[in-house]
Each structure stands twice: as C-alpha cells, then as structure tokens.
Amino acid sequence: MQSIGNPSRFLSCLSVIVVIACLARGCFAAGPRAKRSVIVISLDGFPSYALDDPRLPIPTLRKLARAGVIAPSMQPINPTVTWPNHAALVTGVNATQHQVLFNGLLVHPLDGSKPTIEPWRDKDQLVHSPTIYDIAYNAGLATAQVDWVAIYGAKTITWRFPELPDPNGKIEQELINAGVVTAEQLRTFENSSQAWQDEIWTAAAVDIIEKHRPNLLLVHLLTLDDINHAYGPMTPA
C-alpha cells in the first residue's frame, strides 16, 4: 500500500466501513454477551458517495445499510492514508495519540540516507494506544484479523490471515486443505492479482467465522484502493 501523494484525489483511503452484529457499549463484557460477534469490513478506497450512485450494482451493501445504521460519511484523520485511519478506527484516537503516521514505520538509516517506510514491523512498534482487539482479548474473548494493518505480531489476535500469508499458518493450512488455495500460491501471494487476493482474504474470513466463531473479526479488502490509486475515483475502471 502506498501513501496518497495528493490527498485531494480521494475523500479518504478509507471511506466505507460495514459493521455487522454488536457494536453497543459493553459488547465485550463478560457473560452472555461473550457469545456475540462483531465483524468489521473495511472496503478500502470505496467513497461514501458511491452508495448513492444508481449505476453501481451493490445490492448486498445497500441491504446491510437498510437493515442497520448508516452515516452519510466519515471524518478521516490527518494524514488521510490507510494505516493512520485504520489505526484510528480500532483505537478511537487520532494520530497524535496512536502515532501511526505512515503505511508502516518511518526508519531513519544511521548513515543519514533517505528515510524508508517499513510496513512489516510488529504492531507494538507502530500502535501506541490500546486497540479494541486488545480490550476484547484481555476480556477473555476471541479476536481475529484478515489483512488488517499495523497488526503484525499482535499478541492479542487469536486467529489471523495476514496481508502476507504464511503457508504454515493455521488458517492458511485450513484453506490449503479445503482446496481453496495452494501453498505455492501463498508463497507468491504478494505478486498476485489484487482482485484474486481479495477473494482469498474473503475466503479466509469465511473460514474463520464458520470454524472459529471469533467475538471480533477485522477484515480489510484492497482491490478498490488499488483501482482508485491506478485510475482515480469515478472512472470506468
């Protein structure tokens, strides 16, 4: 994922969030509520105004909106790039507190050369505020993530299928055994079609829901973001 060079090109890297099930206060309390599930689906790069575009065939999203609660838009934080805004969603604070400023960790080389942004750093190095999955896990609940950001090495995630999957991982093995994907495809996952990656991430989310019933699942899909970066919003692509 790349930072947006011109923030005005996009309303936000993150424009649509679909929340299914319980987001009421106290959802992660002990007792009967522990049987509930929360599924957060981020459609990265989907502008809120597209929900009102009659040319767009999105019956499932519109059905969820009609059956639940919807806001006409969301206010992104500064900087309006993917990782800072996703960190804001799970912490409830902006970048001045959670300290995620880039799509990765800014690293200054000791030789004084140009800084680099390194995405594959542990969550503890990136996110400096408590997250909703930390709180849920510490309350004794099961947590899960599929392609969420700034979450590598998180000790409070029970089930995971990361952006760069591990062929030896638990969920990866379940998908391999089910014939959904091969180990070789997972080894070359980063170089695959973005649309196909979204299909596999979705299959992983379904697998986690059906087999493991987490109390909280965070899912991040990327094709829309990729298309918007390549062609811009409201284009034929």
- Residue 224's H or E segment, with its range, is helix 223-231
pLDDT at 233: 83
Q: Are 39 and 17 spatial neighbours (Cβ–Cβ below 8 Å)?
A: no
* Residue 89, in any domain of the structure: yes
Pairwise CA distance, residues 235 & 25, whole Å: 40
Instruction: Give me the domain span that covers residue 122.
Output: 7-228
Determine the Cα–Cα distance for residues 106 and 118; give it in Å rounded to an integer.
Answer: 7
Class of residue 25 by CB neighbours under 10 A (exposed 0-12, middle 13-18, buried 19+): exposed
SS3 call for 20: strand
Residue 20 lies in a domain: yes
> What is the C-alpha separation between 162 and 175, in angstroms, rounded?
13
CATH of the domain at 166: 3.40.720.10
pTM of the predicted model as reported, rounded to 2 decimal places: 0.85
Domain count, the chain: 1
E-strand spans in 36-175?
Answer: 38-44, 105-107, 116-118, 143-146, 159-161
Residue 127 domain flag? yes
On whether residue 75 sits in a domain, the answer given is: yes
Q: Is residue 236 a part of any domain in this protein?
A: no
Q: Which two tokens stand for residue 117?
A: 């942004």
Q: Please list the pLDDT of the chain residue by residue as tens digits (237 residues).
A: 333 333 333 333 344 555 544 443 445 555 555 678 999 999 998 888 888 888 888 999 899 888 988 887 788 999 999 999 999 999 999 999 999 999 999 999 999 999 999 999 999 999 999 999 999 999 999 999 999 999 999 999 999 999 999 999 999 999 999 999 999 999 999 999 999 999 999 999 999 999 999 999 999 999 999 898 899 888 888
Q: Is residue 2 assigned to a domain?
A: no
Three-point CA angle 87, 124, 162, nearest 5°: 65
The two structure tokens encoding residue 48: 């809120």
Residue 233 located in a structural domain: no
3-state secondary structure 149-191: CCCCCCCCCCEEECCCCCCCCHHHHHHHHCCCCCHHHHHCHHH
Any domain includes 86: yes
